[in-house]
Amino acid sequence: MHVAKEFFCGATAEAACQRRQARMRIGFLFNHDQIHQVAHSLPIALALERGGFSGDIVVATTTPALAAEVRRIGGETIGTRIEHVELATSGFSRGLDAVLGKLLPAQKLLIYKDNLDFFRALDVLVVAEKTSLLLKTRYGLKDLAIVHTRHGAGDRAIGFNKASAGFDHVLCSGPKIRDRLIREAGVAPDAISVVGYPKFDLLREAKRHRFLPTAEKVVLYNPHPSPHLSSWYRHGHQVFDSFLDNPRYGIIFAPHVMLFQRNFVVTIDRLTVDSAGAIPQRYLRGDNVKIDLGSRASTDMTYTLAADIYLGDASSQVYEFLLQPRPCIFLNSHRHNWMGDPDFRHWEAGEVIVSPDQIPAALARAEDLHETHYRAVQEEMFAESFHITGTPSDVRAAEAIVEFAHGRKKARPHLRLVGA
């Protein structure tokens, strides 16, 4: 494992560029405050290595937590057959982050400027988020091909904004995503590959855990962080109250990992600022309550597999819950006019309520409604969101990246995936 500030500076940067001319270098960047994006892209890097890709595969992380998650999933492959680079920021950037980081993702944005030599030494960069486009728009790395894997199969409009067209290639999970990228983001059809959902490939040996054994049914409450979409800011405490008064149902409170990450939540798709606040002590002691504000279990589908019922608002995690169709309830705290709006397509998977007062009755009829109506809808939604085949999604994604890069660099015969 190398630290980029030491490995890509001065004469070593020139050596890296010379090496690049001899071997294709594909990099995978994980640059976020939380670990939830790792499972969407790292399986592709591992599939490239297993398939015998003859170029260099580099995984870059920007925090100790991301580095630990990469090593946990990748095992001994990371740092041996796959190079691992831990990117760092300059002292000046760390100072800025100390001032701005409680409100804005300063380090996430500054990491690019401080590691341009590393990015210049790559032929292809694979990312799960969009800030990496700064490498092209702000720092002029026009020759660097950036492939977007996305992270999740959700419906929010921001996932289909014009920025998506800035990537050289986009990998998506299913036809729903492909069609909206073409229609709304203006992505060229030949710049999209439908590959399935590599995160599911990590579940091959996953077991369903049972939480809150005193409860007959366990509900996963999974609110989104965006203040203009989330049910938490207006109704979160009332949601807890409805479970404390009804011990038949247990509640796993596992919100989007960014809800409590900072003192304030700032959203850019619609400029809003709010604070998630504190969780009152009375909610921490119930036998039918489990609270997890951001552990690995919040991101690796432990809870979406464990719960009997999903209660949420705008999180794309509901689509991971639909891997095994079960009852869903959606809390429309902002009284959105949602019917027929593709941004709220997921609300067609269950009953939509507008107040926590309606939760007990919604829970009571959830299973009957699921069997008589929503199960069939969920199966249709899953099929349009995830194109799953007999070939693992991580392999399909690796093959798509190789095919894209090979088409871009036809003169490089080493760019192939062997034995996939």
pLDDT digits (tens, 9 = 90+) for 183-232: 999 999 999 999 999 999 999 777 789 999 999 999 999 999 999 999 99
Q: N- to C-terminal Cα distance for the chain?
A: 27
Confidence of residue 389 (pLDDT cuts 50, 70, 90): very high
Which range (58-72, 122-136, 276-290, 340-354) has the least confidence?
Answer: 276-290
Give the residue from 173, 97, 183, 168 showing the smallest Cα distance to 135.
168
CB within 8 Å of 36: residues ≥ 6 apart: 151, 257, 298, 299
Q: What is the pTM of this model?
A: 0.90
**% of the chain with per-residue pLDDT over 90:** 80
CB atoms within 10 A of CB 268: 9
Instruction: Give the integer Cα–Cα distance in Å for 147 and 140.
Output: 17
The yes-or-no answer to whether 2-197+387-408 and 217-385 have a common fold is yes
Q: Is the Cα torsion angle 185, 110, 267, 311 positive or negative in sign?
A: positive
pLDDT of 408: 76
Alpha helices in 195-324 (DSSP H): 232-244, 302-306, 317-321
CB within 8 Å of 219: residues ≥ 6 apart: 243, 249, 250, 251, 252, 307, 308, 309, 310, 311, 363
CB atoms within 10 A of CB 95: 12
Q: Residue 18 above 70 pLDDT? A: no
Q: Residue 8 above 60 pLDDT? A: no
Phi, psi of 274 (to 5 degrees): -160, 165
Q: Residue 12 above 80 pLDDT? A: no
Please report the DSSP string for 87-145 in residue order. ----HHHHHHHHHHTTTS-HHHHHHHHTTHHHHHT-SEEEESSSGGGHHHHTT--TTSE
pLDDT digits (tens, 9 = 90+) for 242-285: 998 788 999 999 999 999 998 888 887 788 899 999 999 999 88
CB within 8 Å of 78: residues ≥ 6 apart: 1, 59, 70, 71, 84
Instruction: Give the integer Cα–Cα distance in Å for 124 and 145.
Output: 5
Give the residue from 106, 59, 104, 99 showing the smallest Cα distance to 83.
59
pLDDT of 22: 61
Confidence of residue 100 (pLDDT cuts 50, 70, 90): confident
pLDDT digits (tens, 9 = 90+) for 310-335: 999 999 999 999 999 999 999 999 99
- Burial class of residue 216, CB neighbours in 10 A (0-12, 13-18, 19+): exposed
Instruction: Give the integer Cα–Cα distance in Å for 121 and 19.
Output: 8
Give the residue from 357, 373, 346, 367 showing the smallest Cα distance to 217.
367
pLDDT of 410: 52
The radius of gyration computed from the CA coordinates of the chain, to the nearest angstrom, equals: 22
Q: Contact 231/333 with Cβ under 8 angstroms?
A: yes
Give the residue from 285, 302, 209 showing the smallest Cα distance to 247.
285
CB within 8 Å of 335: residues ≥ 6 apart: 354
Give the residue from 103, 118, 81, 97 showing the smallest Cα distance to 6.
118
Structure tokens at 4: 């980029």
Instruction: Give the integer Cα–Cα distance in Å for 362 and 119.
Output: 51
pLDDT digits (tens, 9 = 90+) for 201-215: 999 777 789 999 999
Which DSSP helix (H) or strand (E) runs through 272? strand 272-274
CATH code of the region 2-197+387-408: 3.40.50
Instruction: Give the integer Cα–Cα distance in Å for 237 and 18.
Output: 58
Q: Residue 413 above 70 pLDDT? A: no
DSSP-derived 3-state class of residue 178: helix
**% of the chain with per-residue pLDDT over 70:** 92
pLDDT digits (tens, 9 = 90+) for 127-178: 999 999 999 999 999 999 999 999 999 999 999 999 999 999 999 999 999 9
- Give the mean pLDDT of 403-413: 70
Helices and strands (H, E) in the chain, number of each type = 15, 16
Instruction: Give the integer Cα–Cα distance in Å for 394 and 400.
Output: 10
Domain ranges in the chain are 2-197+387-408, 217-385
Domain 217-385 matching CATH 3.40.50.2000: the answer reads yes
